[in-house]
Structure 1
Amino acid sequence: MKFQIFLTKHTNQITLITGILIVLGELSKYALNFTLGYQVVLAVASIIAAVPIAVRAFSALRNKVFSIELLVSIAVIGAFIIGEFNESAIVTFLFLFGSYLESKTLQKTRTAIKGLTDMSPTTATLVTDTGTEEVDVDDVDEGDVVLVKTGGQVPVDGQVVEGSGYLNEASITGESRQINKQKDDSVYSGTIVENGYIKVKATQVGDDTTFAKIIELVEEAQDTKSKAEKFIDRFAQYYTPAVIVFAAIVYAFSLDFRLAITVLVLGCPGALVIGAPVSNVAGIGNGAKRGILIKGGEVIDTFSKVDTLVFDKTGTLTEGKTAVTTMHQYTDNVAEQLGLAAAIEGVSDHPLGQAIITYADQHKTTAAPTLDDTETVKGQGICAKVAGKTVVIGNQKMMSAHHIDLTSQQATDLNGLQAAGQSTVIMAVDGKVQLMFGIADTIRPEVKDSLAALKAQGIKRTIMLTGDNQLTAEAVAKELNLDEVHANLLPEEKVDYVKQLKAEGNTVAFIGDGINDSPSIATADIGIAMGSGTDVAIDTSDVVLMQSSFPALVHAHGLAKKTVLNTRENIFIAIATVAFLLIGLVFGYIYMASGMFVHEASILVVIFNAMRLIRFKTKFDKRQPATTTAAVTA
């Protein structure tokens, strides 16, 4: 065991020594004409290089696994028997050198993980009764308060209790835009305070933080095998002994020992074995750098086959917060009346009222007089006395209760807002309507174009399932050109719809906020969470979009399809290489050393082909403005 560890640790040095000995052997033969020295040096090189290969083969055999190393080991023994020390030396050197290049290249595809790990905070400035103290991040407990100054890293998940600042959350969301954080806002471990200072009360520490979960999730994902990889693993179990049997048959019929040994060397399925995993690692790494967490190769494989996308509405297709989308005015004093509406709504915390206040803050208004008296009517609105005038603001029932009639134009405007699925608020002063607001949960600005891009990538059906009312749901569906919409649904009814779609033979992805829709996310073939790093989103879904962004959804789907295609390309390259080598062997233009060179070259080809995924962008990505950056740089 210790010897095997020693060999593993020093394989690179063994490879280098073997290469140097091969060069010295060639020099002794061609420069010094010293044939005996040539034979001895190459024999020594063969033995040195064959030892780690043979040890790996024996270790695999103990576990009842027929590995590639077994083929090479038998080939080396055969080469020694026929005295071809140059062949055995070159074969073993190329095999070790190929493994070295393979490991180095694979490391490059895992830069997303390395970068994330390097970004993990290691220390924290703990706020104590006597001041502050620098401690190891593992010594911070839930409920502790930590101080983070400009340029510092937030060491915990928590809530801002003092101070404010602009934070770079690229390590969590992949979003380069700095986010302003103030008291009571949530912050994540691993994010950086670009400007300002904050004191954060820890709610999650150590391995429980969102940042730690992301690292763990991506590491596990890169080790999770796809269907192609599982197939290749099973294939390799039968392939290696089949090659040995085939080589024996070749020898039995030809009595050509060199030919049989060459079959063993050329039969190594190295490119086939490495092709699928390196594609998945590169694809998952690409997603991780963009704040897209894909839970493994099997998820990629299934996601690439999705033909039906099912969406939640609130917080997914829409922003999840109400806003004034339309305001009809029936007065010349708009600034004054809008200021008055905001002042009256200030006495209420109703979401519709807050939307009007926000709208007023964004537009020119006149300061309202002091409110003399207000009365809130539950489910209808507010009645107020202002400077001797009676102001009524609320819904249509409120107007009817105060015998306020709408003109034909106002009635038409009201019907138009209601037909669009908007909630309406009307304000009347002394019995005359002054303003009418249409308020709705605003659609995410990038959704419509993203859905069109997803259709272009092969999605056949887009369906919305929502607990909202039918009128509002249909308005949103019409705006986004969705294929189907089903409203007034409870969570369990959404699950039933997803099951029905699957039973019809569709491959279904459900996209929700990762909290209310977790049953549907878990039921679908692929569950996609739009929640920004929530625990439920990370635990329940197959894909997590940390930015809650639809362009990220387009990228994730395109990446899955491209990764599967890349895997198939690599498998084709591997099989084509073996076919080329065997045909070359039959027709006599491929020999042991040259064949091994082609074999190792094919491994590099599939690796470099997979590495193209690291920089992959969809056509839709290329049309988007450069508003995001990688969570980590390669």
Structure 2
Amino acid sequence: MLIVIAFISKLSFGNVDVFHWALIFASVLGVAPIAIQAYQALKVKVVSIDVLVTIAVTGAFLIKNFEESAIVTLLFLFGAFLEQRTLNKTRSAIKELTEIAPQRALKLMENGKFKEVEIDEVDVGDILLVKTGARVPVDGTVLTGEGYINEASITGESVPVSKKKDAQVYAGTILENGTIQIVADRVGEDTTFGKIIELVEEAQDSKSETERFIDRFSKYYTPAVLVFGIIVWLVTRDIELAITILVLGCPGALVIGVPVSNVAGIGNGARNGVLLKASEVINDFSKVDAVVFDKTGTLTIGNPKVVDIEFYGNDIDEVLSYLASVERESDHPLAKAVVEYIGSTKLHTVKNTEVVKGGGIIAQVDGHRVVVGNVALMEQEKVPLNEKVREDIAQFEQKGNSLVLTSVDGELKVLMGIRDQIRPGVKEDLQKLKSLGVKSLVVLSGDNQGTVDLVARELGLTEAHGHMLPEDKSAYIAKLQAEGQIVAFVGDGVNDSPSLAIANIGIAMGSGTDVAIETSDVVLMNSDFSRLPHALGLTKAMANNMRQNIVIAVGVVLVLLASVFFSEWMNMSIGMLVHEASILVVILNGMRLLRYKLSD
């Protein structure tokens, strides 16, 4: 307003005094907040952009160039305002997540009635009622009722999921129809939804490798501009030229360009079921050479079934009851398949259970030594495998089966062949990874080589390795890294934690599980494999976007500085206008990542 008054008074009324005093007041009002920021920066020994602008405006003021001092402060403050407004938009993922966080819940009270309470009043173990159209207030388990829930806030997938008794539900999801009662398992910040918000906030606040480099560069670049301006003044004795250089050399676009790409990209991932746990992920993931997969639960659905079986000897019903008794104590997918196949049977007390990592289980059942596991465990236990058994094993493996053998007191009794189904759409998703520049796709599995080869042939993988223990998988990843490759490992976040940890990028297939979120660098929510190509494409787009912003920022500064010495038209006001325009350009370029979508 003061600048407008100044120019109206001069151009319309010819009043130079009002013109000067209005610009003086505008300069002082404008430079005050900038000078405060500069002082705070200097207190911690940092020469910031605010320092350059404060010196430049003060210099223009001292040489009585009030037009320049007033207009430069106006443009700088207006640019800072627009930067903040635009940056807030790139944080839309956090804003959206926070806005849909449940605030109230219908809680079962002691009088047997449900009462609406604040979400803070809900504790673990409380019983809650969720009606059609309402948000699920906590992570919990369905007690009664059924309905369809939209889990887009957790998984990025808008197709409703059927929920019945004993099904898991997540805070922030929407019950589209039906009515359910749930028991609260996790509340507040401990819910999956709460952890997602926390992770996205931490990721957006963290700094990528590129961003840290820019910070280091700015730390030395800004003082260098100040020194350069002083040298120019000493040589030319032209104070206006010197302070113009200070304004034109401001690295604002360089400093803001990388963070805005980082924030916008992480926001895009959060809305699409991809959690990038930190900005450090971006650099390595965008350059990944090899993607290594666990098989069960990653490339396959993780719900195997018994499809082939051979019995040896007598008393098979009793052997199956022993087998069911042992396997029901295990959470392994193959164990669940065995228990499901055997069905209802007599169960025995199991004692002295010993889990052999990568092999199986050894236990005492009714005084008998029962060994359940793979061929290697049988050979380790010196269980005889005659020619007929060897032929059966070979046939089962050729069909792509995982093998579960059972021996009682050192005698083989049962051979089971168990197969899992490949996830729908995985083959197409793997082709997308190749098109994005991944050189090798490798599957590592504890299953027999025949099973792994079958999966590899069907999916077109580069390499397949079976009979791999967890430490073997880690060693294989370390070998690839020793060869200079950047390796991503995709697993279920539970059994494969060593591999997730050692890989450059650990990617967990997790339906919001604690282990998946804690162990990995990237989480594909709801175990949706199709999110993997999106995640890789997004990090590549983020890395490219950062490079583009750096080129724009550096290019503008070089052009502005060159124009000071080789043109007649450049001055402080024009320089600041171009400077602020370049900041908006890099911000808008970064915001394109909010709309990123992997093309087919």
Distance in structure 2 (CA, Å) of the matches to 1:472 and 1:498: 21
Distance in structure 1 (CA, Å) of the matches to 2:200 and 2:219: 28
Distance in structure 1 (CA, Å) of the matches to 2:443 and 2:402: 20
Distance in structure 1 (CA, Å) of the matches to 2:86 and 2:307: 52
Distance in structure 2 (CA, Å) of the matches to 1:530 and 1:68: 44
Q: Tell me the matched-pair count.
A: 525
Name the residue aligned to 1:71. 52
Q: TM-score, normalised by structure 1?
A: 0.79
- Whether 2:433 is the aligned partner of 1:454: answer yes
Q: Which amino acid aligns with 2:522?
A: V
- Whether 2:167 is the aligned partner of 1:185: answer yes
Distance in structure 1 (CA, Å) of the matches to 2:586 and 2:142: 48
Q: 1:614 aligns with which of 562, 574, 594?
A: 594
CA offsets, 1:192-248, max 9 Å, x none?
A: 111111111111111111100000000000011011111111111111111111011
Q: Is the 8 A contact 1:126 1:133 kept in 2?
A: yes
Deviates more, 1:128-137 or 1:195-204: 128-137
Q: Is the 8 A contact 1:355 1:439 kept in 2?
A: no
Q: Which amino acid aligns with 1:41?
A: A
Distance in structure 2 (CA, Å) of the matches to 1:110 and 1:611: 10
- Whether 2:76 is the aligned partner of 1:95: answer yes
Q: Give the SS at the match of 1:52.
A: helix
Distance in structure 1 (CA, Å) of the matches to 2:573 and 2:83: 19
Q: Which amino acid aligns with 2:427?
A: K
- Whether 2:252 is the aligned partner of 1:273: answer no
Cα distance change, pair 423–269 in 1 and its aligned pair in 2 (3 A): closer
Task: For 1:253-268, list aligned pairs within 5 A.
Answer: 253-268=235-250
Per-residue deviation at 1:413?
13
Task: For 1:178-257, list aligned pairs within 5 A.
Answer: 178-257=160-239
Q: Is the 8 A contact 2:402 2:448 kept in 1?
A: no
Distance in structure 2 (CA, Å) of the matches to 1:74 and 1:351: 72
Distance in structure 2 (CA, Å) of the matches to 1:468 and 1:126: 47
- Whether 2:510 is the aligned partner of 1:531: answer yes
Q: Give the SS at the match of 1:516.
A: coil
Distance in structure 2 (CA, Å) of the matches to 1:609 and 1:265: 23
State the Cα RMSD in Å.
Answer: 2.8
CA offsets, 1:346-371, max 9 Å, x none?
A: xx99866898899xxxxxxxxxxxx9
Name the residue aligned to 2:450. 471
Name the residue aligned to 1:12. none
Name the residue aligned to 1:154. 136
Query: Runs (4+) of structure 1 moved beyond 4 Å?
Result: 323-326, 348-358, 412-418
Q: 1:573 aligns with which of 552, 555, 576?
A: 552
Q: Is the 8 A contact 1:322 1:355 kept in 2?
A: no
Q: Give the SS at the match of 1:550.
A: coil
Q: Give the SS at the match of 1:321.
A: coil
Distance in structure 2 (CA, Å) of the matches to 1:482 and 1:176: 30
Name the residue aligned to 1:13. none
Q: TM-score, normalised by structure 2?
A: 0.83
Cα distance change, pair 521–225 in 1 and its aligned pair in 2 (3 A): same
Name the residue aligned to 1:517. 496
- Whether 2:590 is the aligned partner of 1:605: answer no
Q: Give the SS at the match of 1:505.
A: coil
Q: Is the 8 A contact 2:248 2:561 kept in 1?
A: yes
Per-residue deviation at 1:498?
1.5
Distance in structure 2 (CA, Å) of the matches to 1:36 and 1:166: 73
- Structure 2 residues without counterparts, runs of 5 or longer: 309-326, 329-334, 348-390, 405-415
Q: Which amino acid aligns with 1:302?
A: D
Q: Give the SS at the match of 1:319.
A: coil
- Whether 2:148 is the aligned partner of 1:166: answer yes
Q: Which amino acid aligns with 1:553?
A: L
- Structure 1 residues without counterparts, runs of 5 or longer: 1-19, 327-347, 359-370, 376-411, 426-436, 624-634
Distance in structure 2 (CA, Å) of the matches to 1:618 and 1:413: 46
- Whether 2:115 is the aligned partner of 1:136: answer no
Distance in structure 2 (CA, Å) of the matches to 1:92 and 1:298: 36
Deviates more, 1:265-274 or 1:127-136: 127-136
Give me the identity figure in percent. Answer: 56
Cα distance change, pair 40–500 in 1 and its aligned pair in 2 (3 A): same
Q: Give the SS at the match of 2:304.
A: strand
Name the residue aligned to 1:420. 399
Q: Is the 8 A contact 2:402 2:447 kept in 1?
A: no
